[in-house]
Structure formats: C-alpha cells, structure tokens
C-alpha cells in the first residue's frame, strides 16, 4: 500500500525496490517499523530537498518522544516517508513518521507494538 494511507499504530515492512510502498503487518509478528504519527505538510515546496526538510521537521519531536519510551535496543532508527514534488502537487500531503528496527533485509525486527 502507498505510505500515505498508513495510520498511527500501523506496523509494516519496507522494500527498497518499491519506494513509497509499505506492506502492513500485524504488530505481533516481526516487522520493520511502526507509524508513530501521521502529519500533514502545509506550504509551498518545489523540490524534494524542501519536502524532505519539512517532513523531517514535522516528525522530529514526536519520534524523539516515542523513542525515549522504548526499551533499550528495540528501535534502531527512524523512517520519514513523504511525497515527492509531483505527488505533493496533486494533493498528497501526508507524512508517515515511524520508528524502525532494521529496515528491509536487516535481521533485527520489531516483534510487538511500541511501548
């Protein structure tokens, strides 16, 4: 499914060959990441770099707060999924802010909902 359809609390896997896509999984089975917050971009952005900067700013505080609540070694990174300039121009403005274990083929997975 496209990342912009994810909701807070959704668990999913990613695939490097399908950027912008997420394979929803049960949070009780091994998975790459869990959505902490879905935020909405506002403003005018004409480049991918500008969109990335704005999306990262929207996700920074909620991801830091949620990461601080997790047991040591659970979370290994963040994943901020945002639209490209074409998608933003046609009205896709959701940003999925997620905490991740090892994304893709990494061996460390999340195995339960985040705390």
Has residue 104 got a pLDDT over 60? no
Cα–Cα dist 80/60, whole Å: 9
Are 110 and 30 a contacting pair, CB within 8 Å?
Answer: yes
Q: What is the mean pLDDT of residues 94-103?
A: 90
Q: What is the mean pLDDT of residues 33-47?
A: 96
Describe the strand order of the beta sheet including 33-40 as a list of residue ranges.
23-25, 11-13, 33-40, 94-100, 77-81
Q: What angle do CA 33, 13, 106 make, to 5 degrees?
A: 80
pTM over 0.85: yes
Q: What is the pLDDT of residue 28?
A: 96
Q: What is the pLDDT of residue 98?
A: 97
70: left (phi over 0), alpha (psi -120 to 50) or beta: beta
């Amino acid at each position: 499914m496209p990342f912009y359809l994810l909701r807070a609390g959704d668990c999913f896997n990613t695939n490097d060959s399908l950027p912008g896509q997420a394979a929803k999984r049960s949070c009780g089975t091994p998975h790459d990441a869990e959505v902490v917050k879905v935020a909405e971009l506002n403003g005018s952005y004409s480049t991918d770099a500008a969109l990335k900067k704005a999306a990262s700013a929207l996700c920074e505080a909620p991801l830091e707060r949620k990461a601080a609540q997790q047991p040591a070694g659970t979370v290994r990174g963040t994943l901020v999924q945002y639209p490209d300039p074409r998608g933003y121009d046609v009205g896709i403005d959701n940003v999925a802010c997620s905490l991740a274990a090892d994304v893709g083929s990494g061996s460390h997975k999340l195995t339960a909902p985040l705390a």
